[in-house]
Amino acid sequence: MSYAKIMLEDEKGQYKSYAEEFPKIYNGKTLLPHQFNKFSNALRKLANEQDQRTPTAKPTKSQTCQIL
């Protein structure tokens, strides 16, 4: 997910990089903006979901069980 943060900070630069490499890998085809947008939106969604799952505050009580 660290790449998602990098990509989202510089989407235009990342698009340019992908657009240059895409034809080399996919037999001369062009990476269209809407294709890249689907990719970047999926990464954004995953990054947001991960941020929501990550606890921001530490629990104040111990979560261990004591056997008496």
How far is residue 19 CA from its own chain's centroid?
18
Predicted confidence (pLDDT) per residue in 24-66, tens digit: 999 999 999 999 999 999 999 988 888 788 765 555 666 666 6
Q: What percentage of the chain's residues is helix, strand, coil (to nearest 5)?
A: 65, 0, 35
Look up the pTM and report it: 0.65
Q: Residue 35: which residues within 8 A CB-CB, separation 6 or more?
A: none
